[in-house]
Structure 1
Amino acid sequence: MNNAQDGLWRRGHVISMVAVTMVALVVEPSPVLGQENAAEDLLKFKTALVNADPALADWNPSTEPCTGNTGNWEGVLCYNGYVWGLQLDNMGLQGQIDVDALAGLQSLRTISLTENNFQGPMPDWRKVPTLTSLYLSGNQFSGRIPDDAFNGMDFLKKVYLSNNKFSGPIPSSLASPRMVEVGLDNNQFSGGIPPFSADNIMVFDVSGNQLQGPIPPSLRKLDPSSFEGNSALCEGPTCEPSPDMEPNIHPLTPTKAFPSKRKGLSPATIAIIILSSLLALFLILLLLLLCCRWNLDDDVESPRHMMMMRSEMVSPYSERRSPMTLGASPQQQATKLSFVSNDRQKFDLQDLMRASAEVLGSGSFGASYKAVLVDGEALVVKRFKQMTNLTKDDFHDHMKRLASLKHPNLLPLVAYLYRKEEKLLVFDFVTNNSLGKHLHDDGKRPEEWPKPLNWRCRLKAIKGTVRGLAYLHAELPALDAPHGHLKSSNVLLDSNYNALLMDYALSPVVNPAQVSQALVAYKCPEYAMSGQTSKKSDVWCLGILILETLTGKAVDKHLGQGCQYGAELARWVKGIVEEANAKGAVGVFDKDMEASAEAETEMEKLLQIGIRCCQEELDKRLDMAEALKRIEQLQE
């Protein structure tokens, strides 16, 4: 399974929240009756399952499933005292899915049963017409899905059926204009792709099936990897439906115009055929040589060669020129770096190709490289493949906007390269690495690093982070989440442990279909609830960062590519709060901070600020100004 497929496969493990505004569309039962029915219906649902215990051992009549927004039963997600979601992933469950029992849950909006052992045909989910999200990936479901399987499910937006054994055509009822995310990869679907509307589609994957015929025009702008592994799929003006999708066309029977018996070929005809074949062979060889030449040129431009090839490489661009040289050919201009500041010493793409290179890692956007130029200058080159929908002018305009941002806690952009297929951003290399590396070194701490970060360094990093965030919010008021991608690996530390934020303000240039998968702010509760981010989405990211910094507990696996907001991240926060309540705040702090008794008081204050920043309800969450004010008051 390739990385793209693996990322979409992992998306089947997580669950999205329901839009709060939709709750009003359903008649709510009275609180007492609703909760009594919920317990009864869930226990009936559990009875039909195999291997339900011990995973669902706490499903019993002695407690209510929900208390406010807190689920008291394992895997039960709650809102205002009602069951709105079930997340029963990776529990080894088998047996029957009693959809009739679930139909009694009037507020149920999302179901996730991924990575279990359910078998047989697709259950009749039409009995739960209020569902907005359905996750069934990683089971053993099989057989043909009825074409009307999703009729009447007017709120359904997200369906993941990946890694099952479904066969037959993709049901046309799934191609609703309301659909936002569709994962059907690694099944045995055949036939054509229904005409999905790409207006709202953010995730779409039908790779690894047996689909045939043309890709619908509405979907051709999506990532080509979404269609890989279907050898009979095609696109373009010459693409025709597969013979299996239309009546068989039988060979022509012999007629007078096409006699069934052939006469022997004359020597002249044979000579002409031989000469024509030789000429065709020559033309093919010439074409192959030209293709090789074009591929060489493309390789010169590719980041892989830019990082790995050395000065002995011969190319049409080996002559050193200023990146802003006018009058260059379009092909040459495509390899020219654009610098955001005129007072910066210039270098060109050839300098980067000659540089010693080191792969730093691969994140949500792509690979990052460290390049050390001949003169010793160290740079970081980041490669982005999720910006292909952007025009050149729009990309240049946004880079100029980023260049205008000046703050001591922002890592400034040095240069960038625009290519249709991908974009490169160049930054100065920061020697002290990221806050995340210091918090989670996994025993691989470089010798030049000091012992683990103490309280003073951690508070300094948090203060620098919130100052940089506040500046972005003031300078970019039009963006819902001005940073949008705050996490510990994007907080770099200089030699004095001052924070430098990177990967900020990228949401306007990331492809809409990939922005929710790539950026951390889109994994916040409000995006899962309403499909919208807000200024407080950055505050939510800040709260997660604060808790991670104080406790030393890693959270990256919940924020990586393909992960959305789910109960597992809520439990991560809840677990810290419960541990603090049980042991006292000191009990959750990272022992490596080695703080004094006086410092522990300030640490407790920061812990409470982090918890306030992580509130799921927006009106209970701090805003950026208040978070800044409270953090600035803390003493080292």
Structure 2
Amino acid sequence: MSQKQANCCVWLVSLLAVLVVPTWGDDADTLINFRISLSNDAALNNWDNTIPPCNWTGVRCKDGSVFRLRLENMSLTGLIDMNSLVQLSGLRSLSFKNNSFDGPIPDVKRIGALRILYLSYNKFSGEISDDAFTGMNYLTKVHLARNQFTGKIPTSLASLDKLAELNLQGNQFEGDIPDFRKATKLNTVDFSINQLLGPIPPSLRRFNASSFADNKGLCGRPLKACKSSKKKTILIIVIVAACVIALAAIVAISYIVSSGRGSKSSQFKTTKDTKALKKYDTGQKEAQKIFDYSGSGNPQKGENGKLIFVRDDRERFDLQDLLRASAEVLGSGSFGSTYKAVLLSGPAMVVKRFRHMNNVGREDFHDRMRKLGSLSHPNLLPLVAFYYRKEEKLLVSDFVPNGSLASHLHGNRAPGQPGLDWPTRLKIIKGVAKGLAYLYKEFPSLPLPHGHLKSSNVVLDKNFEPLLTDYTLVQVMNKEHAQAQMVAYKSPDFTQADRTTRKTDVWSLGILILEMLTGKFPANYLKQGKGVNTDLASWVNSVVREEWTGEVFDKDMKGTRNGEGEMLKLLKVGMCCCEWNAERRWELREAVKKIEELKERDNDNYDDYSSNYASEEYGYSSRALTEDDFSFSVTA
């Protein structure tokens, strides 16, 4: 072999070596160096340069770069090498939950573009410096629960304007809670089980009391009122005593002046009140509350003085039967009060008392109620009768003993009582969709066939079949009150464009779907009038875009095998119904069609789902679908 041929062979072998030995770029080398600082790292055995790092355990990539590092439930110890992590330019999500790391919190602010930080359930300890999160302007979620952190909560946390979730539960934080007024997107907090003191800041008083539990020094709404200082208390007592003495003097003088001429008037008033009380006294205090008509008019004489029945398949009774009925207050909402009335003849009825229902005249109101009485569908709670009076109205329907969907999703359950499982939730949402589709068919010209679709307006029968309530009432409600209270007017259609369309109820359906899947209450429904755009749909969208889809699902659905794929399909339906732009939002018929196609369990390709969607914490997906599958806009 000539020298020239030999040189060619050497060159060819070198070229083949370059082609055969894979090179995965800087991220792979960075992660290998990061692993060196870890101990007890057997779970990372497939971190090897022979395979792409995007296929390594706990690593997710985006556009070829490491986007998320999720090393959870691995019993890892050692050092979290921030010098290596800062070299991952695409890193946006970092989770070391449920390991055994100890020592001070890592210097996370060196990764300024980080969006998600989960360090819960480790053994981190010591104080966190006040500037620990300075400059982390993209951070949306911080979970530091169940560690051993001490000292004050860093004020740099409270300055994060994109922060949506904060969990500091189960540490030893002390001192005052800083004011989170800059964190306007904050929707989930947990400061419980610490050693915090002082009043809860105004920016956090909207959260539930459980978010602040087991801090002996915290006070103020939503907890007990803060105690005043001793000096302040004495000053208040002195002022109140002086006012009482002065008021007593004024009353005494007034009595002396008017005693001669006031006795007859007083006697007349007492007699009138006594007669009214006797007239409506049925031996039931709650019944008095239902039918205590104050002002002019008389419920027996009023507008014809009788209930008007709109159905022929119900037992007849009159107003006096309701007056004699044993009554129980079921709730009091923005429109009025709701009562359960058990008639002497046996059946239990629900009576809803409305005070803001004067948008139409008497004849028009009668016509609309008769139309509602003519509706018949397995997923509608039928109107049985109504009572008309100018100042207020009564709507009577059957009592459904299993309660509302909201009570099952958000109410307190007895220990050991299971929540709604996936098959039941799917059954409920299918029934809701059918009932809504029927309303769309019966009211083709109404922009809002329902108008107030939410979980508290869905009741469940003994078989957990859903029945829609409070439907098609927008037209008879006072406009100002409707726009301040009804769900349709919380939609982006109205808050952004001052209008409602045939797709507005579709948005309400989407929010209901997300509420059922996440178990989270749509808190923006509690705000009157036009509020901020932050809602349940925005939260779900943020979680999905961060590729943490598995954390969306309500843990009460845990235990359903082979259903993850169908849950994800329903999640997509909900998100498409919540599309911010009404033109891109699904039509109701498309949403109903997709919901009808859903099954309790996946098809035979479940193994494909289970390998990608397993989550040790919840038993659900931790892999998000692509943005093409799941993206939807949350801004106009």
What TM-score do the two structures reach when normalised by structure 2?
A: 0.51
Residue number in structure 2 paired with 1:573: 537
Match of 2:569 among 605, 623, 626: 605
CA contact (8 A) 1:483 1:505 kept: yes
Overall identity of the aligned pairs, in %: 44
Q: Give 1:529 deviation, angstroms.
A: 1.6
Q: Give 1:73 deviation, angstroms.
A: 8.4
Residue number in structure 2 paired with 1:74: 161
| 379 and 390 in structure 1: CA distance in 2 versus 1, 3 angstrom threshold | same
CA contact (8 A) 1:55 1:91 kept: no
For the residue of structure 2 that corresponds to 1:598, the secondary structure is: coil
| 601 and 334 in structure 1: CA distance in 2 versus 1, 3 angstrom threshold | same
Match of 2:376 among 403, 406, 412: 406
Aligned ranges 1:421-500 → 2 under 5 Å: 421-444=391-414, 451-500=418-467
With a CA cutoff of 8 Å and minimum separation of 6, indicate the structure with the bigger relative contact order: 1
CA contact (8 A) 1:521 1:537 kept: yes
Q: Give 1:285 deviation, angstroms.
A: 5.8
For the residue of structure 1 that corresponds to 2:524, the secondary structure is: helix
For the residue of structure 1 that corresponds to 2:301, the secondary structure is: helix
CA contact (8 A) 1:299 1:305 kept: no
Aligned ranges 1:613-628 → 2 under 5 Å: 613-628=577-592
Aligned ranges 1:214-293 → 2 under 5 Å: 284=265, 288=269, 291-292=272-273
CA contact (8 A) 1:337 1:417 kept: yes
Distance 1:294 1:628 in 2: 56
Residue number in structure 1 paired with 2:487: 520
Residue number in structure 1 paired with 2:597: 633
Counterpart amino acid of 1:74? D
Residue number in structure 2 paired with 1:245: none
Q: Give 1:346 deviation, angstroms.
A: 0.9
For the residue of structure 2 that corresponds to 1:550, the secondary structure is: helix
Alignment deviations for residues 572-593 of structure 1 (CA, whole Å, 9 cap, x no partner) = 3232233345455333212222
Alignment deviations for residues 255-295 of structure 1 (CA, whole Å, 9 cap, x no partner) = xxxxxxxxxxxxxxxxxxxxxx98x7687467536753785
Residue number in structure 2 paired with 1:348: 318
Distance 1:609 1:399 in 2: 33
Distance 2:342 2:278 in 1: 24
Residue number in structure 1 paired with 2:211: none
Residue number in structure 2 paired with 1:273: none
CA contact (8 A) 2:330 2:339 kept: yes
Counterpart amino acid of 1:484? G
| 393 and 73 in structure 1: CA distance in 2 versus 1, 3 angstrom threshold | farther
Residue number in structure 2 paired with 1:562: 528
CA contact (8 A) 1:458 1:549 kept: yes
Count of residues paired in the alignment: 361
Alignment deviations for residues 140-180 of structure 1 (CA, whole Å, 9 cap, x no partner) = xxxxxxxxxxxxxxxxxxxxxxxxxxxxxxxxxxxxxxxxx
Q: Give 1:502 deviation, angstroms.
A: 0.3
Counterpart amino acid of 2:543? E
Q: Give 1:115 deviation, angstroms.
A: 6.3
Residue number in structure 2 paired with 1:591: 555
Counterpart amino acid of 1:498? E
Residue number in structure 1 paired with 2:509: 542
Distance 2:531 2:579 in 1: 13
Q: Give 1:533 deviation, angstroms.
A: 0.8
CA contact (8 A) 1:308 1:357 kept: no
Q: Give 1:331 deviation, angstroms.
A: 2.2
The 10-residue stretch of structure 1 (388-397 or 499-508) with the greater mean CA deviation from structure 2: 388-397
Residue number in structure 1 paired with 2:341: 371
For the residue of structure 2 that corresponds to 1:370, the secondary structure is: strand
For the residue of structure 2 that corresponds to 1:620, the secondary structure is: coil
Q: Following superposition, which runs of at least 4 residues in structure 1 exceed 4 angstroms of deviation? A: 53-60, 90-93, 280-283, 293-301, 307-310, 581-584
Distance 2:498 2:595 in 1: 30
CA contact (8 A) 1:586 1:600 kept: no
2:518 is the counterpart of 1:551: yes
For the residue of structure 2 that corresponds to 1:567, the secondary structure is: coil
Alignment deviations for residues 277-324 of structure 1 (CA, whole Å, 9 cap, x no partner) = 98x7687467536753785599679x98645599xx9xxxxxxxxxxx
Distance 1:387 1:423 in 2: 7
Q: Which has the larger radius of gyration?
A: 2
CA contact (8 A) 1:433 1:493 kept: yes
| 527 and 304 in structure 1: CA distance in 2 versus 1, 3 angstrom threshold | farther
Distance 1:579 1:550 in 2: 13
Aligned ranges 1:88-487 → 2 under 5 Å: 91-92=180-181, 284=265, 288=269, 291-292=272-273, 296=277, 306=287, 331=301, 333=303, 335-444=305-414, 451-487=418-454
| 305 and 332 in structure 1: CA distance in 2 versus 1, 3 angstrom threshold | farther
Q: Give 1:362 deviation, angstroms.
A: 1.6
Distance 1:409 1:355 in 2: 28
| 582 and 284 in structure 1: CA distance in 2 versus 1, 3 angstrom threshold | closer
| 329 and 434 in structure 1: CA distance in 2 versus 1, 3 angstrom threshold | closer
Distance 1:392 1:56 in 2: 63
Distance 2:336 2:348 in 1: 20
Distance 1:297 1:340 in 2: 31
Distance 2:267 2:304 in 1: 26
Counterpart amino acid of 2:443? L
Residue number in structure 1 paired with 2:67: none
**Gap runs ≥5 in structure 2:** 1-130, 139-158, 164-178, 183-200, 204-258, 293-297, 601-636
CA contact (8 A) 1:58 1:74 kept: no
CA contact (8 A) 1:307 1:371 kept: no
Distance 1:577 1:352 in 2: 48
Q: Give 1:594 deviation, angstroms.
A: 3.2
Q: Give 1:375 deviation, angstroms.
A: 2.8
Distance 2:132 2:202 in 1: 17
